[in-house]
Amino acid sequence: MNTPLKNHPILQLLYRCKTLNSLGQIHAQMITTGLILHTYPLSRIILVSSSIATNISYAETIFNQVKNPTIFLYNILISCYTTKGKNHDALSLYNRIFSNNMTSSAKPNNYTYPSLFKACGAQLWFQHGKALHAHVLKFLEPPYDQFVQASLLNFYSSCGKIGVARYLFYQISQPDLAVWNSILSAYATNCSVNFDANADSFCDSTGLWLEVLHLFSEMQKCSIQPNEVTLVALISACADLGALSQGMWAHGYVVRKKLGLNIYLGSALINMYSNCGCLKLAYQLFDELPARDTFCYNAMIRGLAVHGHGREALELFEKMALEGLVPDDVTLLVVMFACSHLGLVDQGCKYFYAMHRDYGIAPKLEHYGCLVDILGRAGRVEEAEETIHAMPLKPTAVLWRSLLGAARVHGNIQVGKVALKHLIQLEPETSGNYVLLSNIYASMNRWDDVKNVRKLMKEFGINKMPGTSILEIDGEMHEFSSGDKTHPKAKEIYLKLDDMNGRLKEHGYKPRTREVLFDIEEEEKEDHLSYHSESGRNYPKNHHNHACLSL
């Protein structure tokens, strides 16, 4: 055959093929000319047939007619399976390599595993992915191909194994932009998924977001230019940390480099400005977006609701409907959140029950949690408890903690005890649960019961973790914790607090002392409240700060 196979006229016709009928004709020509006997043309017709047909049966038929397929052909069909979402078939085909007396020509190679790890990229398939990782160590020679390393990193991060993903990342000698984006997105995704209402999870989430800033700083040192994917992860970190100056730098970078303000960047920036208290900037950005989808509306509605503009949030929801955009589960959640903060109990309940009826959306745990919050804020604590007992999903600690919080606010001891009982079963070592019940007793001056709760905590070896918060000042991150006076400017901070408290009292402010968990004088209680979580430490200039100001 004088013409090289890659440029064969029949293959050129194959690439222009659009229908199964024409594919059949070209397939017949490949058989009559003997072209089908060669591996490369075989791989091309398998690829083209899988892209044309709605199912992959034609490609399977061609593959199954090959007597001794090479690993190249196996890789092609495995890739086709994962592209079509047929993950089980991809793994089954991989197993056939071993059941067919594996030869050197059919031994797995660097191109075999990336598609397979993509197929296993969910918690349900985690054990299969771990077994594939063992196969990588067995069949491939180090140093491993960067695509294999990146696919391993993506697999573990998608399964929530951020520690393993980080380890694998540092094994890659010269990570490219795609690899940097993978690890940054891994942190950002796991921060969002793992966030919980209790203090310990908040600390963990904060640490992960700070790591995003640190990694971005390291990426800049490698002279890797960020793209839209990189900046979404960075801006999301700035949003959660309240790092306004760094978030604004990222926004400026988008404008300077003319990257284009797509819906993903737009949503991330709206969240960032909203979280940093710049609601006008968030709304200005929202109005200037060239295109807005449901995600953009979700971000803006949430921003309005969080800042107490519930009416405007609900009006924006109505505008979204007029534009023909279909709300998703997040939309309904933020709308319910707005109703909760406005005290619109009936309307909030209406949106909850409209989810399945009007939009075909099954309520998630978050929606039940918001419904419990709506009822709890309105003082309908028993109804909130009934909601948890009646829900079809297994209640989590977050829901019981929300109920316990409502019982605390409204002084409902009985419901509080029920909630705490479930919380102790789910989270026996979480101090905040016991503290919430103590708050209820303290608000009613039942100091003996407060002591009993503290005694119970002592018996279980449970210590109250100090509250923490992080502030950004001039691009520098400062972490503050309760009772900690190690911040270099602690003296000035306390003097300023005394000044602020004095001014507040001049304007009629009265500290809410009824929930301080000690039977002490009122003046001492006021001091305890005034200095809670207001002393702390700062990060040095080279620690997770100015991470995005050097380009």
Among 155, 173, 149, 147, CA closest to 75: 147
DSSP conformation letters of 241-309:
HT-HHHHHHHHHHHHHTT----HHHHHHHHHHHHHTT-HHHHHHHHHH-SS--HHHHHHHHHHHHHTT-
Assign a CATH topology to domain 373-465: 1.25.40
Among 156, 152, 159, 147, CA closest to 135: 152
Residue 511: what pLDDT?
65
Question: Model's pTM, two decimal places?
Answer: 0.73
Residue 495: what pLDDT?
86
Residue 430: what pLDDT?
72
Residue 192: what pLDDT?
59
Residue 201: what pLDDT?
40
Mean pLDDT by 10 residues, the chain (551 residues): 73 93 95 94 95 91 92 96 93 90 81 94 85 94 88 89 91 91 86 45 65 92 93 93 92 91 94 95 94 95 93 95 93 94 92 92 94 94 95 92 88 87 81 75 82 80 67 70 75 85 81 50 49 41 37 40
| Cβ atoms 325, 319 nearer than 8 A | no
Residue 155: what pLDDT?
93
Indicate the domain borders of the chain.
297-363, 373-465, 468-538
User: Strand 468-473 vs strand 536-538: parallel, antiparallel, or unpaired?
Assistant: unpaired
Label residue 115 exposed, middle or buried (CB < 10 Å: 0-12, 13-18, 19+): buried
Amino acid at 198: N
Length of the chain: 551
Residue 513: what pLDDT?
52
